[in-house]
Amino acid sequence: MNTKTERPKAKSGLKTLAALLPFLSPYKKQFFFATIALVIAAASTLTIPYGFRQLIDLGFTAGNPDHASHVNYYFLGLFGVSCVLAISTAARFYTVSWLGERVTADIRSAVYAHVVQQSPQFFETTQSGEVLSRLTTDTTLIQTVVGTSISMALRNILLLIGGLLMMLITSVKLTSIIIVMLLAVLVPIIIFARRVRKLSRASQDRIADASGLAGEILNAVTIVQAYTHEKIEAQRFGRAVEQAFTTAINRIRARSILTVMAILMIFGAIVFVLWLGAHAVMDGGMSGGELSQFILYAAIVTGAVGALSEVIGDAQRAAGASERLMELLAERSPITSPLHPVALPVLAKQGAALQMRDVFFNYPSRPDTSALSALSLDIAPGETIAIVGPSGAGKTTLFQLLLRFYDPQAGSITLDGVNIKELDLHTLRNTIGIVPQDTVIFSANAMENIRYGKPDATDEEVMAAATLAAAHEFIERLPEGYQSFLGERGVRLSGGQRQRIAIARALLKNPPLLLLDEATSALDAESERLVQHALEAAMAGRTTLVIAHRLATVQRVDRILVLDQGRVVESGTHHDLVAQNGLYASLAALQFNS
C-alpha cells in the first residue's frame, strides 16, 4: 500500500519550488505591484530610526521657539512616514494574499484536471483519499509560501540590506563584527532547514496515508459495521494519525532547534556588539543618538534575520509539499490520444464492427499472469454477442481493453477497421456505452444521474431512456420522482434499481457499441424479463456485447463466445454449443438442470 511514497524523488530542496514558477508567471502584474508596495514599506520602516536619532540628538531643551518648530516638523514627518508605511503595508498584504489564494486555486484545479485524466493503472497504486489530501493540505502549504513567505522574504531581505547599510554608515567597526558573527550563524541554520524539508515531506505523506485510509473506510462503513470492525478501524486510523503526529513533531523539533539557534546566536552577537557600543559612547567615540540609531537598526536587522529563518523553514515545508504535487502533475498516463487521430469512418446503420487479433494482455500490476492470451474475435455490425465463462476468465478485462483503459501488450483491436490506438480517446469512448459490473451512481438526483449519459438530453429523453430500462416506474414512485436525491453512491436505491439507472444512462447515450457487463445480475426474474425485453429492443441498430452468468438471459443472442483463462474456447449459438458438449454445455447443464 505504500508504493506511493517510494516513487523516484523529484528535484530536491528549494529547487522544487521553482516548479511552481509556471503557476506564478501569469500574475507578473500583481507581483510587480506587490514589490513596489513592499519596497515603499521597507524604505519607510528604515527611515524611522533615522528620525529618532535626529530627535534624540536635537534634545528637548526648554525656551527655544525655533527649536520647538523644528521638533514639530520632525514629528509631523514621522507621522507622514507612518501613514505611508500603513498604506503600503496594507497594499502589500492584499496583493500578496490575493496571489497566494489565486495560485493555490490554480494548482488545485490543475492537479485535479490532471488526475482525472489518469488511466486506471494510476488508481491501482494511488488511493483517492491520498490525492484529496494532496489537493487540500499540501496546497495550503504552498499558499503560505506564495501568500506570505515570498513577501516576507523580500521585505526582510530589503530590511536586512538596508539596515546593514545604515548600520555601516553609523559605525563601520561595530557592523563588521556583527556581519562576521551573522555569517557564522547562517551555516547551521541552512543545514537544519534542509532537515525540516525532508521531515515536512514525510509529515505530509503520513497525513495523505491517513486520508487514504479514512476515505476507503468511510466508503465501506456498512461492511465495517457488519463485521463489527469499528474499533479496529478506529485504531488503525488512530495509528496512522499518530504516525502523522510523530513525524510532524520531529519536524517541529527540528524547527524549534532552528529557532533557538537563530535567536540565541543572533541576539548573542548583537548584545556583544552593543556592549562594545556602550563603551564607545562612554569613551566619547559615539553620540547617544548614534548609538540609539544603531540599536534600532540592529533590532531591525535581527528581526529580519529571525524572520528569514522562519521563512526558510516555511519554504522548505512547502518544497516538501509541492514535491508530491509536482510528481502528480508529472505523472503521464500511458493511455493517450494519438497526436494525429484518425477520423472514424461513418458508422454503418446497424452499429460498429469490432475485431480483435491475437490480443495478449496482462495487467501492469501482474506482469507474469496473462489476463487475455491470443484472443481473436470478429464481430459484424449489428450483431449481439454474449460472452460467458467462469469467473476470472477475462470478460471484464475484454471490455476494459475495448474502452482503452489499458493497451494490450500484443495484438490489435479495430473498430470499423481503424485500430483503436489511432482514434482520439474521446471519439472511441463516445462510440461506446457501458453498463459496468459495479454500477456507479453519483450523489445527485435520478434525472441528473441518467442524464450523465448525454448531458444535453431533455427531460423527455431522459424519461424515455428510463422507460426503456424499466426504471421509469420505480423512479416515479420515489418521494420526489426524478428529482429524488439518490444519496452518495446511490445508497438510497436497491441494487437492482441502481442497475436500471445505469442501463438507462447507457441507453440515453445511444451508442453504436453497447457493452453490458452483468447488467441485469441484480434484478429479480420479473424486472429482468422487463429489462431484457427493453434491451432487446435497444440492441436493434447497434452492436452489443453482453457478459452474463445466467445463461437463460443469452439464449436469443446471435452468437455466444465462451471465454476461459483469457481465451475464446468455444463459439456458436446456444444449440451449437450444447451440441459441442464442451465447457458451455457443462455450464448449461449445471444451470438448467437445477
Ligand X SMILES: Nc1ncnc2c1ncn2[C@@H]1O[C@H](COP(=O)(O)OP(=O)(O)OP(=O)(O)O)[C@@H](O)[C@H]1O
**Contacting residues toward ligand X, per CB under 6 A:** 124, 363, 365-366, 371, 391-397, 437
Q: How far is the CB of 329 from ligand X (least distance, A)?
A: 24
Q: Are strands 372-379 and 513-517 parallel, antiparallel or unpaired?
A: unpaired
Give, in order, the Cα–Cα distances in Å from 93 to each of 86, 102, 148, 506. Answer: 11, 14, 8, 52
Question: Shortest Cβ distance from residue 527 to Mg ion (Å)?
Answer: 21
| CA 377 to mean position of chain CA atoms | 39
- Count H helices, E strands: the chain? 21, 10
Which helix (H) or strand (E) covers residue 563, if one does? strand 559-564
Residues numbered 455 to 484 that lie near Mg ion (CB under 5 A) are none
Q: Which is nearer to ligand X, 189 or 398 (CB)?
A: 398
Give, in order, the Cα–Cα distances in Å from 124 to each of 3, 43, 119, 127, 197.
10, 55, 9, 8, 28
Site for Mg ion in 230-269 (CB under 5 A): none
58's grid cell: 536635537
Under rule CB under 5 A, which residues in 81-110 are in contact with Mg ion? none
Comparison of 286 and 503: residue with beta carbon closer to Mg ion: 503
Judged by beta carbon distances under 5 to 8 A according to partner kind, the member of ligand X, Mg ion, none in contact with residue 69 is none
Instruction: Kindly state the DSSP code that residue 19 receives in the 8-state scheme.
Output: T
Q: Which stretch binds Mg ion (CB under 5 A): 251-259, 417-425, 434-442, 554-562?
A: 434-442
124 binds, among Mg ion, ligand X, none (CB under 5 to 8 A by kind): ligand X
**# residues near Mg ion by CB under 5 A:** 2
Cβ 370 to ligand X shortest distance, Å? 9
Select the span of 18-26, 256-264, 294-302, 436-444 touching Mg ion (CB under 5 A): 436-444
Q: Which is nearer to ligand X, 210 or 413 (CB)?
A: 413
Least distance (Å) from ligand X to the CB of residue 410?
17
Q: Which three cell numbers stand for residue 26?
A: 501569469
Across the beta sheet with 559-564, what order do the strands follow? Answer: 432-435, 513-517, 543-547, 384-388, 559-564, 567-572
Distance CA 94, CA 565 (A): 64
In this structure, what C-alpha cell is assigned to residue 208?
495523505
| Coil/strand/helix, residue 547 | strand
Using CA atoms, how far residue 98 sits from 27, 29, 168, in Å, is 10, 12, 37
Q: Which region, judged by CB under 5 A, interacts with Mg ion, from 277-285, 318-326, 425-433, 437-445?
A: 437-445
Cβ-based nearer residue to Mg ion, 315 or 519: 519
CB of 585 to ligand X, least distance (A): 19
Cβ nearer to Mg ion, comparing 355 with 437: 437
Residue 268 interacts, among Mg ion, ligand X, none and using kind-specific CB cut-offs from 5 to 8 Å, with none
- CA distances from residue 521 to 120, 201, 326, 591 in whole angstroms, order as listed: 24, 46, 43, 15
d(CA 561, CA 86): 79
Q: Residue written as cell 521531515?
A: 199
363 vs 474, which CB is nearer to ligand X?
363
Whole-angstrom distance, CA of residue 459 vs CA of residue 482: 9
Measured from the CB of residue 391, what is the shortest distance to ligand X in angstroms?
3
Q: Residue 68 is placed in which grid cell?
A: 520647538
Q: How far apart are CA 9 and CA 92, in angstroms?
A: 35
Nearest to ligand X of 2, 228 (CB atom): 2
Query: CB of 438 within 8 A of CB of 387?
Result: no
Q: Which of 396, 449, 497, 543 binds Mg ion (CB under 5 A)?
A: 396
CB closer to Mg ion out of 123 and 227: 123
Contact 475, 481 (CB under 8 A): yes
| 415: partner contacted, choices Mg ion, ligand X, none (Cβ within 5-8 A by kind) | none
Smallest separation (angstroms) from ligand X to the CB of 352: 21
Nearer to ligand X, 5 or 121 (CB): 121
Which of Mg ion, ligand X, none does residue 397 bind to, with CB < 5 to 8 Å depending on kind?
ligand X
Complex with ligand X: residue 124 or 473, whichever CB lies closer: 124
Supply the minimum distance, in Å, between the C-beta of residue 132 and ligand X: 21
CA 87 – CA 109 distance, rounded (Å): 33
Smallest distance from Mg ion to CB 333, Å? 23
Cell numbers placing 469 = 430500462
**In the bound complex, what is the minimum distance in angstroms from residue 521's beta carbon to ligand X?**
10
Residue 57 partner contact from Mg ion, ligand X, none using kind-dependent CB cut-offs of 5 to 8 Å? none
Q: Give the nearest distance from C-beta 518 to Mg ion in angstroms.
A: 7
Closer to ligand X by CB, 291 or 371: give it: 371
C-alpha cell at 498: 441502481
Residue pair 79/51 in contact by the 8 Å Cβ criterion: no
Q: Which residues bind Mg ion (CB under 5 A)?
A: 396, 437
